[in-house]
Protein backbone atom coordinates (compact mmCIF):
# COMPACT_ATOMS: atom_id res chain seq x y z
CA UNK A 1 0.00 0.00 0.00
CA UNK A 2 1.36 3.44 -0.92
CA UNK A 3 2.48 5.63 1.95
CA UNK A 4 0.38 8.83 1.76
CA UNK A 5 3.16 10.81 3.46
CA UNK A 6 5.71 9.99 0.77
CA UNK A 7 5.88 12.55 -2.03
CA UNK A 8 7.05 11.67 -5.52
CA UNK A 9 8.07 14.14 -8.17
CA UNK A 10 8.24 13.59 -11.94
CA UNK A 11 11.84 13.30 -13.09
CA UNK A 12 13.33 12.71 -16.52
CA UNK A 13 16.78 12.01 -17.90
CA UNK A 14 17.45 13.74 -21.19
CA UNK A 15 20.46 13.46 -23.50
CA UNK A 16 21.07 16.95 -24.87
CA UNK A 17 22.86 18.04 -28.05
CA UNK A 18 22.35 14.68 -29.73
CA UNK A 19 19.71 12.94 -31.83
CA UNK A 20 20.32 9.48 -30.39
CA UNK A 21 20.28 8.02 -26.87
CA UNK A 22 23.48 7.53 -24.87
CA UNK A 23 25.32 10.40 -26.57
CA UNK A 24 25.45 14.14 -25.96
CA UNK A 25 25.19 15.42 -22.39
CA UNK A 26 22.72 13.82 -19.96
CA UNK A 27 20.77 15.99 -17.54
CA UNK A 28 18.05 15.21 -15.03
CA UNK A 29 14.95 17.40 -15.12
CA UNK A 30 12.70 17.49 -12.06
CA UNK A 31 9.23 19.07 -12.13
CA UNK A 32 8.55 20.63 -8.75
CA UNK A 33 4.80 20.88 -9.32
CA UNK A 34 3.34 22.11 -6.03
CA UNK A 35 6.24 20.94 -3.83
CA UNK A 36 8.65 23.58 -2.53
CA UNK A 37 11.99 21.85 -2.04
CA UNK A 38 14.72 23.41 0.09
CA UNK A 39 18.09 24.16 -1.48
CA UNK A 40 19.54 21.35 0.62
CA UNK A 41 17.01 18.87 -0.72
CA UNK A 42 17.60 19.96 -4.32
CA UNK A 43 21.33 19.49 -3.79
CA UNK A 44 20.79 16.01 -2.35
CA UNK A 45 18.71 14.96 -5.36
CA UNK A 46 21.41 16.30 -7.69
CA UNK A 47 24.02 14.28 -5.82
CA UNK A 48 21.77 11.21 -6.04
CA UNK A 49 21.30 11.63 -9.79
CA UNK A 50 25.08 12.13 -10.12
CA UNK A 51 24.87 13.81 -13.52
CA UNK A 52 26.72 16.97 -14.47
CA UNK A 53 23.47 18.90 -13.88
CA UNK A 54 20.03 18.35 -12.42
CA UNK A 55 17.50 21.00 -13.46
CA UNK A 56 14.50 22.05 -11.39
CA UNK A 57 11.49 23.54 -13.12
CA UNK A 58 8.97 25.37 -10.95
CA UNK A 59 5.68 27.10 -11.60
CA UNK A 60 5.65 30.85 -11.10
CA UNK A 61 1.94 31.04 -10.25
CA UNK A 62 -0.44 28.62 -8.57
CA UNK A 63 -2.60 28.29 -11.67
CA UNK A 64 0.33 27.57 -14.02
CA UNK A 65 0.62 24.20 -15.69
CA UNK A 66 3.65 22.40 -17.14
CA UNK A 67 1.53 21.32 -20.10
CA UNK A 68 0.29 24.76 -21.14
CA UNK A 69 2.14 27.65 -19.47
CA UNK A 70 5.07 29.29 -21.24
CA UNK A 71 7.09 30.79 -18.36
CA UNK A 72 8.79 28.89 -15.53
CA UNK A 73 11.49 29.22 -12.91
CA UNK A 74 14.64 27.18 -13.55
CA UNK A 75 17.64 26.29 -11.40
CA UNK A 76 20.60 24.00 -12.02
CA UNK A 77 22.65 21.94 -9.57
CA UNK A 78 25.78 19.86 -10.13
CA UNK A 79 26.37 16.97 -7.69
CA UNK A 80 28.11 19.48 -5.39
CA UNK A 81 26.77 23.00 -5.99
CA UNK A 82 24.32 25.32 -7.75
CA UNK A 83 25.50 26.98 -10.96
CA UNK A 84 24.59 30.30 -12.58
CA UNK A 85 24.13 29.03 -16.15
CA UNK A 86 23.79 25.61 -17.76
CA UNK A 87 22.95 25.31 -21.43
CA UNK A 88 22.48 21.57 -21.84
CA UNK A 89 20.17 21.27 -18.83
CA UNK A 90 18.14 24.20 -20.21
CA UNK A 91 17.83 22.33 -23.51
CA UNK A 92 16.85 19.21 -21.54
CA UNK A 93 14.22 21.20 -19.62
CA UNK A 94 12.70 22.54 -22.82
CA UNK A 95 12.70 19.05 -24.36
CA UNK A 96 10.89 17.70 -21.29
CA UNK A 97 8.18 20.33 -21.58
CA UNK A 98 7.87 20.09 -25.37
CA UNK A 99 8.09 16.31 -25.78
CA UNK A 100 6.89 14.78 -22.50
CA UNK A 101 4.41 17.37 -21.21
CA UNK A 102 3.22 18.12 -24.77
CA UNK A 103 3.51 21.85 -24.11
CA UNK A 104 2.38 23.58 -27.34
CA UNK A 105 4.12 26.92 -26.68
CA UNK A 106 6.34 28.00 -29.60
CA UNK A 107 8.69 29.64 -27.07
CA UNK A 108 9.39 28.99 -23.41
CA UNK A 109 10.83 31.55 -20.98
CA UNK A 110 12.92 30.48 -18.00
CA UNK A 111 13.64 32.80 -15.07
CA UNK A 112 17.18 31.96 -13.89
CA UNK A 113 20.22 33.30 -12.08
CA UNK A 114 21.43 34.45 -15.53
CA UNK A 115 18.25 36.39 -16.26
CA UNK A 116 15.48 35.32 -18.61
CA UNK A 117 16.47 32.55 -21.01
CA UNK A 118 14.37 31.43 -23.96
CA UNK A 119 13.89 28.13 -25.77
CA UNK A 120 12.22 28.00 -29.20
CA UNK A 121 11.10 25.16 -31.41
CA UNK A 122 12.93 25.12 -34.76
CA UNK A 123 11.79 21.98 -36.58
CA UNK A 124 13.54 19.01 -34.99
CA UNK A 125 15.83 21.38 -33.11
CA UNK A 126 15.45 23.44 -29.97
CA UNK A 127 17.16 26.83 -30.06
CA UNK A 128 18.31 28.36 -26.78
CA UNK A 129 18.54 32.14 -26.48
CA UNK A 130 21.38 32.76 -24.02
CA UNK A 131 23.49 35.78 -22.98
CA UNK A 132 26.81 36.36 -24.73
CA UNK A 133 29.74 36.00 -22.34
CA UNK A 134 32.89 37.88 -23.30
CA UNK A 135 36.46 37.10 -22.33
CA UNK A 136 39.42 39.24 -21.34
CA UNK A 137 43.04 38.53 -22.31
CA UNK A 138 45.11 36.83 -19.67
CA UNK A 139 48.75 35.88 -19.42
CA UNK A 140 49.35 32.14 -19.13
CA UNK A 141 51.46 32.69 -16.02
CA UNK A 142 48.67 33.42 -13.55
CA UNK A 143 47.00 30.04 -13.88
CA UNK A 144 49.94 28.09 -15.31
CA UNK A 145 49.55 25.20 -12.85
CA UNK A 146 45.88 24.68 -13.70
CA UNK A 147 46.62 24.97 -17.43
CA UNK A 148 49.53 22.50 -17.26
CA UNK A 149 47.41 20.05 -15.27
CA UNK A 150 44.69 20.34 -17.92
CA UNK A 151 46.60 20.13 -21.21
CA UNK A 152 49.96 18.69 -20.16
CA UNK A 153 52.70 19.22 -22.76
CA UNK A 154 50.41 20.63 -25.49
CA UNK A 155 51.47 24.21 -26.29
CA UNK A 156 49.28 27.20 -25.43
CA UNK A 157 48.39 29.66 -28.17
CA UNK A 158 46.22 32.01 -26.09
CA UNK A 159 44.59 32.21 -22.66
CA UNK A 160 41.55 34.31 -21.83
CA UNK A 161 39.23 34.61 -18.83
CA UNK A 162 35.47 34.99 -18.57
CA UNK A 163 34.13 36.13 -15.20
CA UNK A 164 30.43 36.28 -16.02
CA UNK A 165 29.61 32.55 -15.88
CA UNK A 166 31.28 31.89 -12.55
CA UNK A 167 34.84 32.08 -13.89
CA UNK A 168 36.00 30.09 -16.94
CA UNK A 169 39.47 29.89 -18.40
CA UNK A 170 39.52 29.72 -22.21
CA UNK A 171 42.68 28.00 -23.44
CA UNK A 172 43.27 27.95 -27.18
CA UNK A 173 45.79 25.45 -28.46
CA UNK A 174 47.67 25.72 -31.80
CA UNK A 175 45.84 24.98 -35.05
CA UNK A 176 48.46 22.33 -35.87
CA UNK A 177 47.19 20.06 -33.09
CA UNK A 178 45.16 17.26 -34.64
CA UNK A 179 41.69 16.23 -33.55
CA UNK A 180 43.15 12.86 -32.54
CA UNK A 181 45.71 14.55 -30.26
CA UNK A 182 42.98 16.80 -28.89
CA UNK A 183 40.69 13.89 -28.05
CA UNK A 184 43.56 11.95 -26.45
CA UNK A 185 44.25 14.82 -24.03
CA UNK A 186 43.89 13.53 -20.46
CA UNK A 187 43.99 16.15 -17.68
CA UNK A 188 45.58 15.35 -14.34
CA UNK A 189 42.46 15.80 -12.25
CA UNK A 190 44.23 15.68 -8.90
CA UNK A 191 46.70 18.36 -9.98
CA UNK A 192 43.82 20.49 -11.29
CA UNK A 193 42.07 20.24 -7.93
CA UNK A 194 45.28 21.04 -6.05
CA UNK A 195 45.91 24.15 -8.19
CA UNK A 196 42.34 25.47 -7.96
CA UNK A 197 41.54 29.06 -7.06
CA UNK A 198 38.03 30.08 -6.11
CA UNK A 199 37.46 32.37 -9.12
CA UNK A 200 37.72 29.45 -11.58
CA UNK A 201 34.57 27.47 -12.44
CA UNK A 202 36.00 25.46 -15.31
CA UNK A 203 38.53 25.23 -18.13
CA UNK A 204 37.51 25.37 -21.80
CA UNK A 205 40.13 24.03 -24.20
CA UNK A 206 39.46 24.92 -27.83
CA UNK A 207 40.96 24.24 -31.25
CA UNK A 208 40.22 25.85 -34.62
CA UNK A 209 38.75 23.33 -37.04
CA UNK A 210 40.36 22.58 -40.39
CA UNK A 211 40.47 19.81 -42.95
CA UNK A 212 44.18 19.44 -42.21
CA UNK A 213 43.80 18.75 -38.48
CA UNK A 214 40.89 16.35 -38.96
CA UNK A 215 38.16 18.44 -37.33
CA UNK A 216 35.39 17.26 -39.65
CA UNK A 217 32.12 15.40 -39.14
CA UNK A 218 31.14 11.98 -40.49
CA UNK A 219 30.15 13.58 -43.81
CA UNK A 220 33.49 15.36 -44.13
CA UNK A 221 32.07 18.79 -43.25
CA UNK A 222 34.53 20.94 -41.34
CA UNK A 223 33.76 22.16 -37.84
CA UNK A 224 34.52 25.83 -37.25
CA UNK A 225 35.95 24.91 -33.86
CA UNK A 226 35.99 22.06 -31.39
CA UNK A 227 36.22 22.19 -27.62
CA UNK A 228 36.38 20.27 -24.36
CA UNK A 229 35.27 21.43 -20.89
CA UNK A 230 36.72 20.38 -17.54
CA UNK A 231 35.31 21.18 -14.09
CA UNK A 232 36.55 18.67 -11.49
CA UNK A 233 35.84 21.18 -8.70
CA UNK A 234 32.08 20.74 -9.24
CA UNK A 235 32.27 16.97 -9.43
CA UNK A 236 32.54 17.05 -13.25
CA UNK A 237 36.00 15.87 -14.39
CA UNK A 238 34.82 16.41 -17.99
CA UNK A 239 31.44 17.73 -19.10
CA UNK A 240 30.21 15.95 -22.26
CA UNK A 241 28.62 18.98 -23.98
CA UNK A 242 28.52 22.43 -22.39
CA UNK A 243 25.99 24.93 -23.71
CA UNK A 244 27.17 27.75 -21.44
CA UNK A 245 30.76 27.37 -22.69
CA UNK A 246 29.53 28.06 -26.21
CA UNK A 247 28.26 31.49 -25.15
CA UNK A 248 31.94 32.20 -24.46
CA UNK A 249 33.30 30.34 -27.48
CA UNK A 250 30.92 32.14 -29.87
CA UNK A 251 32.11 35.52 -28.62
CA UNK A 252 35.78 34.50 -28.94
CA UNK A 253 35.64 32.76 -32.32
CA UNK A 254 33.55 35.52 -33.92
CA UNK A 255 36.56 37.82 -33.60
CA UNK A 256 39.04 35.16 -34.65
CA UNK A 257 37.15 33.85 -37.67
CA UNK A 258 35.28 36.99 -38.74
CA UNK A 259 31.90 35.25 -38.77
CA UNK A 260 28.91 34.89 -36.46
CA UNK A 261 27.48 31.45 -37.26
CA UNK A 262 29.35 28.32 -36.25
CA UNK A 263 29.20 24.56 -36.65
CA UNK A 264 30.86 23.17 -33.54
CA UNK A 265 31.59 19.92 -31.79
CA UNK A 266 32.47 19.18 -28.17
CA UNK A 267 34.94 16.30 -28.31
CA UNK A 268 34.19 14.41 -25.13
CA UNK A 269 33.80 10.63 -25.11
CA UNK A 270 30.02 10.99 -25.63
CA UNK A 271 30.40 14.02 -27.88
CA UNK A 272 27.85 16.49 -29.15
CA UNK A 273 27.17 18.82 -32.07
CA UNK A 274 25.97 22.42 -31.78
CA UNK A 275 24.87 25.11 -34.19
CA UNK A 276 25.78 28.45 -32.64
CA UNK A 277 24.97 32.00 -33.73
CA UNK A 278 26.27 35.20 -32.17
CA UNK A 279 23.64 37.90 -32.56
CA UNK A 280 24.22 41.62 -32.57
CA UNK A 281 22.24 42.24 -29.38
CA UNK A 282 24.48 40.59 -26.81
CA UNK A 283 22.76 37.21 -27.13
CA UNK A 284 23.81 33.82 -28.47
CA UNK A 285 21.56 31.22 -30.10
CA UNK A 286 22.68 27.68 -29.27
CA UNK A 287 20.75 25.08 -31.26
CA UNK A 288 20.65 21.34 -30.73
CA UNK A 289 18.54 18.23 -30.51
CA UNK A 290 17.60 16.22 -27.40
CA UNK A 291 16.34 12.73 -26.58
CA UNK A 292 14.39 11.77 -23.44
CA UNK A 293 15.80 8.41 -22.28
CA UNK A 294 14.18 7.91 -18.86
CA UNK A 295 10.88 9.00 -17.35
CA UNK A 296 9.73 8.27 -13.81
CA UNK A 297 9.21 9.65 -10.33
CA UNK A 298 11.65 10.32 -7.55
CA UNK A 299 10.76 9.77 -3.91
CA UNK A 300 11.45 12.71 -1.63
CA–CA gap between residue 261 and residue 224 (Å, rounded): 9
Quote the CA–CA distance of 18 and 54 in Å, as a whole number: 18
Inter-residue contact 271 to 19 (CB < 8 Å): no
Exposed / middle / buried, residue 30 (Cβ in 10 Å: 0-12, 13-18, 19+): buried
Residue 126 CA to residue 184 CA, distance in Å, equals: 31
End-to-end CA distance of the chain: 17
- Cα(285)–Cα(119) distance, integer angstroms: 9
Neighbours of 125 (CB within 10 A): 14
Residue 219 makes CB contacts below 8 A (sequence gap 6+) with none
CA-CA-CA-CA dihedral for 142, 144, 145, 148, to nearest 10 = 160
> What one-character-per-residue DSSP string does 133-181 give?
---EE--TTTTHHHHHHHHTTSPPSEEEEE-TTS-EEEEE--TTS-HHH
Taking residue 244's Cβ as centre, other Cβ atoms within 10 Å add up to: 33
In eight-state DSSP terms, residue 223 is: P
The one catalytic residue in 33, 40, 53, 218 is 53
Torsion of CA 204, 210, 211, 217, to 10 degrees: 40
Catalytic site residue 53? yes
If residue 286 lies in a helix (H) or strand (E), which one and from where to where? strand 283-288
Q: Cite the active site residues.
A: 53
Amino acid sequence: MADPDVKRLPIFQVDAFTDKPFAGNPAAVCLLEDVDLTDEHQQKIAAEMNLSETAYLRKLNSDDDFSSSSKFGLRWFTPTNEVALCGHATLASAATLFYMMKNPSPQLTFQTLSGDLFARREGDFISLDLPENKTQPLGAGKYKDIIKATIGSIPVQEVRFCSSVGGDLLVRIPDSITREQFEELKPNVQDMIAAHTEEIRGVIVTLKGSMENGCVDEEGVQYDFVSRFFDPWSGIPEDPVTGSAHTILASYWAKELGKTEFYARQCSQRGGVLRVRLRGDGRVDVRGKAVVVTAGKIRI
